[in-house]
Amino acid sequence: MRRAGSWIAGLVAVLASVVVFLVPFVFIFLTAAKDPADASRLEFSWPRSWAFGENLTEVLTTRDGIVVRAFVNSAVLTVVSVVIMVILAAMVGYLLQRRRSRLNPIVNFFVLAGLIVPPAVVPTIWVLQRLGLFKTMPGLILIEATFGLSFCILLFRAFVATIPRELDEAAIIDGAGPLRLFFAVILPLLRPVIITVVVVQAVTVFNDFTNPLYFLPGDENATVQLTLYNFQSQMVSQFNLLFMDILLITIPPLVMYIFFNRQIVAGMTSGAVKG
C-alpha cells in the first residue's frame, strides 16, 4: 500500500513537472517556428507553415546583429563575474569556517545583510560615476559579483565544514604556506560546491535584466535579456521573432541545468548535516 502511494505521488510529481516546465517550452518552440500571421494568434497549435530558419536568421541579423553582440556581452559578463565570485567566496568561506576571530560576527553580519538588504540603484550609480565605471562592462561585472557574493560565501562556508581540519594541519607540517594550502589542498576538494555556484550564478547573471538596464545602457552594451526587451517594445506584433529570441535565451541555462543537476543538489546539501 505504501509502495503504491509512493508510486502515485511520484507520478503526480512528474506530471506536474511536465506541465510546469515542458509545456511552456514547447509553446515557445512552436510559436518561434510560425510565420507572423500564425504566431500572432498565440495558440498552442502546430505551425501551419514552418518558418524556423527564416525567423532565426531575422533575429540574428536584426539591428546589425544586436542579438549576436548581446550574446558575446552576456558571455563575458557571466564568465568573469562567476570567476570572481568563486575565488572570493571560497576564500572568505574558508576563513570564516577555519579561523575564529572577533571580526567573524561583523563579517557574518555583512554577509547576511547582502542577502536581506535590497540594492540601492541611485547610490550605486553615483558610486560608479565617481569611479568612472558607469556604463562600462567592468562596472557591471563588479555589480554582479558583489550581489551574488553573499549567497556563494554561505555555500562555501557550509562545505568547508565537511573537510577535516587534519588536512590543513598535514599540509602546514609539509611546509605549505597559506596560498598553497588553499589553492593546492582545499580548493580541489570544493569541486561539488564550485559546480553548484558556477551553474546557479551563471544562470542568474545570464538571465539578469535589471542590472544591465540600470548600470549598462546602450545598444553596444546590450545583454541577451535587453534584446528581449527591445523585441517586445519595437516588434510587439511579430511574436514569432519575440519567441525565437526567447528560445535562444532559454537554451544555454537549460543545457547547464540538464548536465549539472546532480552536482547542483550535491553542492546545495553538502553542508546540511555538518556545519
> Counting Cβ atoms within 10 Å, is residue 133 exposed (0-12), middle (13-18) or buried (19+)?
middle
Q: What is the mean pLDDT of residues 32-61?
A: 89
Confidence of residue 272 (pLDDT cuts 50, 70, 90): very low
Residue-range definition of the domain harbouring residue 192: 67-269
- Residue 266 clears pLDDT 80, i.e. is over it: no
All three cell numbers of 6: 509512493
Question: Looking at residue 52, what is its pLDDT?
Answer: 92
The answer to the question of residue 191 being in a domain is yes
Q: Does the residue 40 lie in any domain?
A: no
Contact between 239 and 42 (Cβ < 8 Å): yes
The answer as to whether 164 is a domain residue is yes
Q: Is position 25 within any domain?
A: no
Specify the pLDDT at position 268. 59
Q: What is the pLDDT of residue 84?
A: 96
Size (the chain), residues: 275
Query: What would the pLDDT profile of 159-212 be if each residue is shown by its tens digit?
Result: 898 888 888 888 888 888 888 888 988 999 998 889 889 988 999 999 999 899
* pLDDT confidence of residue 269: 59
Q: How many domains does the chain have?
A: 1
- CA atoms of 193 and 19, how far apart (whole Å): 30
CATH (domain of 240): 1.10.3720.10
Q: What's the pLDDT band for 234 if we cut at 50, 70, 90?
A: low
> What SS3 string covers 49-78?
CCCHHHHHHHHHHHHHHHHHHHHHHHHHHH
Q: 118 CB contacts (<8 Å, ≥6 apart)? A: none
Query: Which of the residue ranges 8-12, 57-61, 165-169, 246-250 would you say has the lowest mean pLDDT?
Result: 8-12
Instruction: Answer yes or no: is 35 within a domain.
Output: no
Is residue 123 domain-resident? yes
Looking at residue 4, its pLDDT comes to: 65
How far is it between the farthest Cα atoms of the chain? 73
Residue 13 lies in a domain: no
What mean pLDDT is reported for the chain? Answer: 85
Which element (helix H / strand E) includes 244?
A: helix 239-269
* DSSP state for residue 183 in the 8-state scheme: I
Give the CA radius of gyration of the chain.
Answer: 23
Domain assignment present for 3:
no
